[in-house]
Amino acid sequence: MKILVTGGAGFIGSHVVDTFLAAGHSVVIVDNLSSGRERNLNPGARFYKIDIRDPKLIEVLEAEKPDIIDHHAAQIDVRKSVTDPIFDAQINILGTLNLIDAACKTGVRKFIYISSGGAAYGEPLYLPCDEKHPIDPLSPYGVTKHTMEHYLFLYEKIYGLDYSVLRYANVYGPRQDPYGEAGVVAIFTGQMLSDKPVTIFGSGKQERDFVYVKDCARANLMVAEKEHRGIFNIGCGVGSNINQIFSTLKTITGYPKEANYAPAKAGETFKIYLDNRLAAKELGWKPTVSLEEGLRQTVDYFLQNEK
């Protein structure tokens, strides 16, 4: 199959590209390199430097005629979405809509959409959150990511566009940028290896479902190769608190300092982890990398590439 991956120079998208290519698929990358890195580009894929909001995006689809679009390009910074919700919506809603519309006009067979389990569900009514949990986001980012699930439902009904949604938990691992739109693992790792102060916002008792990036990439391959339509949580099903992440990374890196604490940031859920049983049942997917092993692999990558 030919698969077009948006955001294919980014942290998660580049691992997805690698996984598709390793499985023998043809891959096209669309990325504007605003947060993605050229060094993440797999030379086995054809690359187009273009923004998903660009009206000329349809020309790429007309030229390449992909069977599947795997959509990872997004504004992913929760805090930025709070301070600049218009910019967040321009990319995550209007940009994605531009891509979906172009997909329908060019005969794309399937659309794989990356949504957010961590941000869309809001503060959970029960744990772990399954796919039927009410949607009650606490940030514009969560709102925009979920909004496009409704558009995909509509485009399937009107135009017959097949789609699947992967609702990621908190993804971490190699290639995550410690200086950009990073998650806590990348930020802590970068600061510890540079012997800089580490700040935990809030009490550190807030819990997240940390899922390793290569496990997420494997979920994309399973959705692409199986004729399953649906919405799937992609997470480990357990919560780990931020103090635990700090402590484990402190041990792995040999970091000598204690954490500083600052007030919690607006728009962030206190405790959430995802029920992944539907992905296990329908896709045969389950996480394979433990948190400690994933953190060690992340630190190893940073030691070789980020210092």
Active site residues: 141
Residue type present at position 302: F
Could you tell me which residues are beta bridge partners of residue 132? none
